[in-house]
Amino acid sequence: MPATASALLTPEVLKEARRRERRVAWQQTRTAWLFIAPAVLMVSLFLLLPVVFNVILSFTKWQKFTGLDQFAGFNNYLRLFRVPYFSEALGNTAIWVVGAVVFPLAVGLGLALLLRNIPFQETFKSLFFLPRVLAPTAVGAIWYYVYAPTGVLNSAVSGIAGTPFDFGWLFDPATITGSVIVTFVWQTVGITMVLLLLGLAAIPKDPVEAARVDGASNFQIFRHIVWPLLLPTVLVVTILNVAAGFTTFDLLWVMASSFPGKRTLSLAVYMYYESFSNGAWAYGSAVAVVLGAMVITVSALLAVVQARVSKNIR
């Protein structure tokens, strides 16, 4: 039988078999591409083409419907370093991104550690996640009235202090960024907590139980076992919050609607202001390119770190 089988496997038969395999593989690949073609077309039409057009636009003199056909070179990018508003917006963006990363992560991690072993965990998860489903404009409008001079916050302070208190939280440059960060934390802490709970659930129990038997404290267990194993999830959350921090616009725009210096609250707000309020679309496109490059660079670096940490854990 083996000799007969070997005799049947002639070069022509093997060649035909390989040809048939390639034909089947091509048919499967073609079918797969046919299924994903609409999605690829939509992404190209509504994402890639606008990005390419925006980059091209940043090298023109387009302003208020004129100058689209005039090449400006790198003038719009050089202008970024000459305009003080850009450096101010860049500094505020750095503060905003740090706050949008650190505080949701700290609060979300604390809640995840508190909720992971208690009854009715799903109920609490739903309650904390609920603000995430609200539109940022709605969240901004709600918290705008919370921070209003006659709003809930000042009324609570007045009741506690026993004296009238009408501080303008969203009108003072010293408090507006912190006030908006608190709102951002309120909206995003739910998804941060859920992701961290998933990371905690994936940690094996054997090392933790062995450490408890050896007399390790809860802090030692967290520091030497839980935190290193949770770090890949923490980095994923950080990447998401970094991207959100850089690109958040609607929340800032709604809450700072009455703030005189709102144009420099962040690069996203500054880009919108220059493009649609001043009509400097080419310059606004240059701001958008710089903002996009910053998001991609920071996210890529964090993704590399996350991949290396995950590889070391394995």
Give the pLDDT of the chain (314 residues) as one tens digit per residue. 455 555 556 777 677 777 888 877 787 787 778 888 888 888 778 888 888 889 999 998 888 777 777 888 899 999 998 988 999 999 999 999 999 999 999 999 999 999 888 888 888 888 888 998 899 999 999 999 999 888 899 999 898 888 888 888 988 888 888 999 999 999 999 999 999 999 998 888 888 888 888 888 888 888 888 898 999 999 999 999 999 999 889 999 999 887 887 778 899 999 999 988 888 899 999 999 999 999 999 999 998 998 888 887 76
The reply to whether 52 and 80 lie within a common domain is: no
The reply to whether 20 and 145 lie within a common domain is: no
Q: Say how many CA atoms lie within 13 Å of 204 toward its Cβ.
A: 6
Residue 63 included in any domain: no
Question: Are the C-beta atoms of residues 270 and 89 closer than 8 Å to each other?
Answer: yes
Q: Which domain holds residue 188?
A: 75-313
The reply to whether 79 and 46 lie within a common domain is: no
**Long-range interactions of 120-126: CB distance < 8 A, separation 24+:** 121/197, 125/190, 125/193, 125/194, 125/197
The reply to whether 114 and 180 lie within a common domain is: yes
Residue 189 included in any domain: yes
Beta strand segments in 219-300, E: none
The single residue listed with the structure tokens 């609060």 is: 107
The reply to whether 41 and 111 lie within a common domain is: no
The reply to whether 82 and 174 lie within a common domain is: yes
Residue 62 included in any domain: no
The reply to whether 10 and 145 lie within a common domain is: no
Provide the sign of the torsion angle of the four alpha carbons 49, 50, 55, 59, taken in this order: positive
The reply to whether 99 and 7 lie within a common domain is: no
Residue 147 included in any domain: yes
